[in-house]
Structure 1
């Protein structure tokens, strides 16, 4: 039972409140004891001062002078006056207005029992002093001290009760508040378990711990929803766009089974192998895009010189462009640095340059440029070829999307999808520029300073 209490919010709050109450009680007990001892010392000091004054007044006169001094003080006594008792060595009372058994040894006694002349019993704090021929007892009534102790006890008990009630009230309020906020999270989690992936935890805008937790969980849910959408998209793409190549492969296999000529059969087997390689390439590209879209938080945080990388790639591709009658140019300042996966960014640039080689006619000029885009390094690959109709451009980043003019060339329509996935995984974006002649794709990569 106690272990379960430690694991519940109300239990932890109740234990905390109990700890505060016990600490308050301990502080109150210490304060009470210190105050009580201070009052007793003050009473002892008063009794000692009274005894010293009385002995000084009767100095040299013996017991008769001391009895006379006690008589004078009894005659002028007030409610605050101490009590006196003077006895000789035989225990006979010589002076004083009280009756009591004289303590057997000199010094202070905390609880001295005596009776007044009226017969009323009292308890006092006393000092017994040996005098020539007898003993002198000076006592002060403890009633005032006991009354102060009683009052302090009531005050501390009242304060402890108020603190306990306040602590219990705050514990209930805090427990209710925490449970209410946790219930919001629980309700949202239950709805998501039931299939409502668009559900999010409400926020109150207070920037409190719960509000920040809600924001973090909402970001996590956004990420999960994005990954689920990607999974559904990949599944849909595979189901829709692989149907045709699989159908062709199935037909090829049927032809192989029916072919009687060995040479024809070998030729059809080779065509089937090419079709299978094509299908495997599509699968590989789809899975790679999905992998890139899901790894933005796990990309290598390598800082490198993007200008140098692009310069190297342009030099590598320039002979291919020259052989086909095209030209490749670079407009890039030196020293542009980014943070990310060097291999993936190289892959994005490779896809864009391959598209230029595949889809532009001889004589086309291709320009690769870099510029600072305010937190992102903007890379543009532009050509002055025939371009793509404006109506077809919005869908070019979709999987398997191909422009009408590009359907006669090799490819699966996944290159720009991969480019976009790589850019977004690096905190950037990818877009088609409409204000340039020909066709231009621009991608943004997070700079090294952001």
Structure 2
């Protein structure tokens, strides 16, 4: 049997166990109470029978003792019956509708004894076929057994109700704190590193947990801020001298005296341009991951942005004799940044063009899948093996067969950062053959 995993299932299982335990306890108390009463009545019946049969009395003396017993105040609630071998009553104050078995037994209304709803009977077999029967009520009032059961049910029912209310209140408190933690975690995933869990009562267990969680988030924020600052500082500080170096190389390559070294100068110029592009991509990813651009989101039609951007770069595929299939375009209203989404499309198409051979087919489309807009860029090239997909999404991640191609391994990471900024996801799938990149973005409500 699988263990309950949701909070509701755990609460339901706990209440079910408590209810079952309460019902069983109520039944056990009821039966124990009946047993205790029956034992007390049995002791009294045995005591009365012992007095009647003391010194082995003959029939006349026994009948006389029974008559006296029925008249005593302390035995007024006990029934006596002495019968012969033929069942005829010789003495006593009761006339049951049927006989009682030998020994001790439980009797009820079917015995036909006026005023008796439940009781106990004791039967002794005597010489010459005589039978002595004593009967006593175990209920002080009529229907006392049902009233006792009702009282127990109400008492244990009240306990069960209190436990249920307590469990409900506890589950609400746990759910509220879980929601607070999840809300803070989701906000941080969305890029808001300042999100924290509300602290309600610093001395409570939940309050101390929220404080510990917030301290952890403070530490993570400090580390992430430091790491981001280092990346920005390195990129900014290196980009300036690299830009100067690029300018000097450009001037040197343009000098007539550099004709002999022009090929080397142009190669160095191209390498410096690639390094500058790499630093620009790093800064761009850092800017996107910061989440500040989300304040600039506006209602957009994803299909319109993708269609316009893909058409503007169709010439990239023509240069390699590749076929760029555009559409279909399903209307997909979203909230986003048009410039970043255009950059996303350019990166995906350029990535497909650069990593597929001439004559390949690249398709770009937008569709709706329930509450999500799905942008798909697919090709029939070599694709990416499943065990290499994580490497392809890592910064500076270069697959072995792409190391000799232009690029610096920041295209897909930038796409992933833009998708995450728009609260979307990036998926790399097998296009059989080739690669299909799917970007899922939430539809605007």
TM-score when normalising by structure 2 = 0.51
Q: CA deviation at 1:178?
A: 2.3
In structure 1, list runs of 5 or more residues that go unmatched. Answer: 287-450
SS in 1 for 2:107: strand
Which residue is equivalent to 2:95? 99
- 1:201–1:218 Cα contact (<8 Å) kept: no
- Residue 127 in structure 1 maps to residue 150 in structure 2: no
Which residue is equivalent to 2:30? 32
Which residue is equivalent to 2:344? none
- 1:10–1:172 Cα contact (<8 Å) kept: no
- 1:126–1:138 Cα contact (<8 Å) kept: yes
- 2:115–2:142 Cα contact (<8 Å) kept: no
CA distance in structure 2 between the aligned counterparts of 1:84 and 1:170, rounded to whole angstroms: 54
Q: CA deviation at 1:77?
A: 4.2
Which residue is equivalent to 2:175? 179
Which residue is equivalent to 1:314? none
CA distance in structure 2 between the aligned counterparts of 1:122 and 1:244, rounded to whole angstroms: 106
Which residue is equivalent to 1:136? 132
CA distance in structure 1 between the aligned counterparts of 2:258 and 2:190, rounded to whole angstroms: 59
- 1:14–1:168 Cα contact (<8 Å) kept: no
Inter-CA distance 265–67: structure 2 relative to 1 (3 Å threshold): same
Inter-CA distance 37–84: structure 2 relative to 1 (3 Å threshold): same
Q: How does 1:131-280 map to 2 (within 5 A)?
A: 131-133=126-128, 134-144=130-140, 149-203=145-199, 204-206=201-203, 208-209=205-206, 211-252=208-249, 255-256=252-253, 258=255
- Write out per-residue CA displacement over residues 318-350 of structure 1, whole angstroms, 9 at most, x where no aligned residue: xxxxxxxxxxxxxxxxxxxxxxxxxxxxxxxxx
CA distance in structure 1 between the aligned counterparts of 2:30 and 2:257, rounded to whole angstroms: 112
CA distance in structure 2 between the aligned counterparts of 1:182 and 1:217, rounded to whole angstroms: 14
CA distance in structure 2 between the aligned counterparts of 1:110 and 1:183, rounded to whole angstroms: 59
CA distance in structure 2 between the aligned counterparts of 1:91 and 1:125, rounded to whole angstroms: 20
- 2:100–2:121 Cα contact (<8 Å) kept: no
- Residue 51 in structure 1 maps to residue 49 in structure 2: yes
Q: CA deviation at 1:56?
A: 0.8
Which residue is equivalent to 1:68? 64
CA distance in structure 1 between the aligned counterparts of 2:131 and 2:10, rounded to whole angstroms: 63
After the TM superposition, which segments of 4 or more aligned residues of structure 1 sit over 4 Å from their partners?
A: 77-80, 112-116, 119-123, 145-148, 256-266
Which residue is equivalent to 2:345? none
Q: CA deviation at 1:99?
A: 1.1
Q: How does 1:212-361 map to 2 (within 5 A)?
A: 212-252=209-249, 255-256=252-253, 258=255
Inter-CA distance 212–121: structure 2 relative to 1 (3 Å threshold): closer
In structure 2, list runs of 5 or more residues that go unmatched. Answer: 283-445
SS in 1 for 2:53: helix
SS in 2 for 1:125: strand
CA distance in structure 1 between the aligned counterparts of 2:135 and 2:100, rounded to whole angstroms: 15
SS in 1 for 2:83: strand
Q: CA deviation at 1:105?
A: 4.8
Q: CA deviation at 1:148?
A: 5.6
- Write out per-residue CA displacement over residues 151-193 of structure 1, whole angstroms, 9 at most, x where no aligned residue: 5423321222212221222123223322332333344344434
- Residue 108 in structure 1 maps to residue 104 in structure 2: yes
RMSD: 4.1
Pair member with larger Rg: 1
- 2:79–2:92 Cα contact (<8 Å) kept: yes
CA distance in structure 2 between the aligned counterparts of 1:122 and 1:212, rounded to whole angstroms: 60
Q: CA deviation at 1:20?
A: 2.0
Inter-CA distance 84–212: structure 2 relative to 1 (3 Å threshold): same
- 2:70–2:76 Cα contact (<8 Å) kept: no
Q: CA deviation at 1:124?
A: 3.6
- 1:82–1:138 Cα contact (<8 Å) kept: yes
Which residue is equivalent to 2:394? none
